[in-house]
Amino acid sequence: MIFNQLRIKALFVRVKRRLSPVQPDNFAINRLDYLLTTVEELFRQLHLFGWVIGGFSLLIGGFGIANILLVAVRDRTPEIGVRMALGATPRHIECLFFIEAAALSILGACVGIVLAAALVYVIRDNGVIPLQINLIHVLECLEIALSIGLLAGWLPARQAAALDPAQAMVLK
């Protein structure tokens, strides 16, 4: 159907330009849907690329938080032993490290959001692409960061909670 419509349009243009049937076309009919599908495919690829880069960033951030917390467990082993000797349950010790992991991840997410907002502000002021920051996406970002932080803090929190209080106070 679209092909027939193009043929009819081409015939009208040929008549308007007074071209004989044997003369080649000296015009082109541009269709925006070709451009639209190309642009849509480009944005699909960019979207996928963004997810891949974001996934690697989250993975590296999670490993960073886990590493920081593992070092914190090792450095604070005597403190953990004293807390447990004074009555802190393993659950309390786990919560202590989960709160630390959550704080690290939320702080990192806030820095990322501020940098992204600055980039959007610069791009939007140049008038190249109309961009805006959506509050829903900011909240989703914070939720994902918190999830990654808690997941990364799980192993260090378990290690800290499993320490024997008597041995932990002696170690250092």
Mark the ranges of the chain whose per-residue pLDDT is less than 50.
none
Rg value, the chain, Cα:
30
Give me the pLDDT at residue 171, please: 60
Task: Report DSSP letters for 41-63, one per residue.
Answer: HHHHHHHHHHHHHHHHHHHHHHH
pLDDT in tens, 37-69: 888 888 899 989 989 998 999 999 999 999 999
Give me the pLDDT at residue 3, please: 58
Domain boundaries, the chain: 60-170
Give me the pLDDT at residue 6, please: 66
pLDDT in tens, 11-20: 778 888 888 8
Give me the pLDDT at residue 26, please: 79
Which secondary structure element, helix H or strand E, spans residue 37, and what is its range? Answer: helix 32-75
